[in-house]
Amino acid sequence: MRAKITKFYQDVFDDAKLHLVMPTTRIFFTVGEGETYSGSFLIESKDHRPIRGMVYTSTFRMQCKGAGFDSDKAKISFVFDSTGLKAGDMLKGTFTIVSEAGEYDISFTASIALPYVETRMGKITRLEDFKELASYSYREALNLFMSPKFKDLLAVENDTTNNLYDGIRRLVLDERSLEEFLIGTDMKRPVQIYLMEEEKFYPSIDHSMTEVLELAKDSWGFVPITVAVEGDFIKVEKDSFTTMDFEGNRFQYEYTLVKSLLHAGKNYGAIIFKTPYGNLTYRITVMVEGSRVEREEYRMQKVLGVDIVKRYIRYRCGQIPVSEWCDKALDDYDQLEKLYPGQHIYTLLSAHALIECGRKEEARHILERFDKKFWSRVKDSELWGFYIYLASLVKNDLSYSMKVSDEIRKLHEKNEDSWILLWLVLQTEEYLIQNVERRIQIIENQWKERGFHSILLLEA
């Protein structure tokens, strides 16, 4: 200013208009949530004459260091404070330069950085990115979903999404939880599983044979699948698998037809694939041309089976005395054991009849025929459930009976279609023995939704 006054008294005037030149008129930067960002910009005089001025900002978050200048070139440093802003926010503002050359504006835009996670697909910042990762690598998406970092990604999502994740996290984080989260946030629809064909007919087989059926899925995602088999002649190796085991969109499932377990005539069986969204049933029919003797044995088995059920119902309804029922039942079971020596259910039914008529010692001797090695092969079967139930009746020990009740309940949970296991549950669960209304409700549900047998009506 003194230099200008001196020039005025010396009649030296500079009539040329002053101009500022700013290499940058727009400033963009990204800053982390709760962090600060430092930067600078240049102000220059067009003809290199000194110019005096001040720099103001439109928001308290932006502060300039040394806002005043008096030179032909000035570097203005600034600091932006993002405290209080959230990830994904964007703040626009202005630097206003008031100078001898006039007023000038430089706009700025501050973007609050989104949290991110580095993956094989690059940075994941939003759920849309996460969806793409899940469709590309479900396993990597699951690892991220189970890590604390995933919660950071939800910082910019709505309350509904955060509440859904918090609810799932309180239970367990696994493949199924991830699938429920993706479906619940409308990022995908449930995977549909279907059979390429729903039934198979074998006009005849000469030997045991392994066959393959094919399942398919219509999209990516996780679905657990458990397998149940109807028909003793069908054997499977896998009793569970998931869509992660599919090759592309297809899965080949192997099953074996056991020739020695087929009877003369038509053999009906099924493989049932159970998913959270419903069941798929693959029906199998095998035709066997048996000899006259084989056909007669099969007919006898059916006739005896019907007679046994009818007589048991009459006994339970008080129409015949226990001794009469027991003697006849033991004769029938003995015939069936001779016809089918490998069918151990008839041996256990004999033990059951003996217990019913008070001959527990004889029943104990029958149960002792089975060794531990045999049961190790069928620990998850209906046969095992029936055996431990009979053993509890023979031992008459409260502690053992409670353990048996718990084990039978777990067996039934694994195979809810089994009417035999349900019958055992009704015999052993104390609260069901006392609560008739609940018993009727359970039996009704079994009748409507799953396998049923007239014997269950006796327990209503």
Are 220 and 87 in a shared domain?
no
Do 259 and 290 contact (CB within 8 A), yes or no?
A: no
Are 85 and 133 in a shared domain?
no
Distance CA 419, CA 409 (A): 13
Full 3-state SS string of 68-132: EEEECEEEEEEEEECCCCCCCCEEEEEEEEEECCEEEEEEEEEEECCCCEEECCEEECCHHHHHH
Are 87 and 103 in a shared domain?
yes
The pLDDT assigned to 12 comes to: 43
The pLDDT assigned to 348 comes to: 86
The pLDDT assigned to 235 comes to: 93
Helix (H, G, I), strand (E, B) or coil at 53: strand
Are 75 and 135 in a shared domain?
no
Are 275 and 235 in a shared domain?
yes
| Domain limit, last residue, from 67, 83, 112 | 112
The pLDDT assigned to 283 comes to: 93
Are 250 and 227 in a shared domain?
yes
Positions in the chain whose pLDDT score sits under 50: 5, 7-13, 15
| Domain limit, last residue, from 51, 84, 112 | 112
Are 88 and 213 in a shared domain?
no
Check which CATH number belongs to the domain holding 305 and give it. Answer: 1.25.40
Are 46 and 85 in a shared domain?
yes
User: Nearest 5 degrees, angle CA 354-CA 358-CA 361?
Assistant: 70
- How many CB atoms lie under 10 A from the CB of residue 217? 17
Sign, CA torsion 360/366/371/375: negative
Helix (H, G, I), strand (E, B) or coil at 64: strand
Tokens 């590309």 map to which residue? 136
| Long-range contacts at 141-149 (CB < 8 A, ≥ 24 apart) | 141/178, 142/174, 142/175, 142/178, 144/117, 144/119, 145/173, 145/177, 145/178, 145/181, 146/173, 146/174, 149/115, 149/117
Tokens of 286: 């095998």
Cα-Cα-Cα-Cα dihedral of 308, 309, 313, 318, to 10°?
0
- The answer to whether position 126 is within a domain reads yes
Number of domains in the chain: 4
The pLDDT assigned to 61 comes to: 93
Are 400 and 439 in a shared domain?
yes
Are 284 and 297 in a shared domain?
no
- How many CB atoms lie under 10 A from the CB of residue 238? 12
Are 372 and 266 in a shared domain?
no
Helical ranges in 137-258 per DSSP H: 138-146, 149-153, 159-171, 175-184
Question: In the sheet that 102-112 helps form, which strands lie side by side, from edge to edge?
Answer: 26-31, 102-112, 90-99, 51-57, 68-71
Check which CATH number belongs to the domain holding 32 and give it. Answer: 2.60.40.10
The pLDDT assigned to 263 comes to: 82
- The answer to whether position 22 is within a domain reads yes
Tokens of 396: 């008459």
Residue type for 260, please?
A: S
- The answer to whether position 9 is within a domain reads no
- The answer to whether position 283 is within a domain reads yes
The pLDDT assigned to 398 comes to: 85
- The answer to whether position 106 is within a domain reads yes
- Cα 90 to chain centroid distance, Å, stands at 37
Residue pLDDT, tens place only, 125-154? 677 778 887 787 888 887 877 877 777 777
The pLDDT assigned to 216 comes to: 92
- The answer to whether position 8 is within a domain reads no
| Domain limit, last residue, from 70, 96, 112 | 112
Domain hosting residue 254, numbered range:
193-288
Check which CATH number belongs to the domain holding 240 and give it. Answer: 2.60.40.2310
- The answer to whether position 102 is within a domain reads yes
Are 420 and 302 in a shared domain?
yes
- The answer to whether position 5 is within a domain reads no
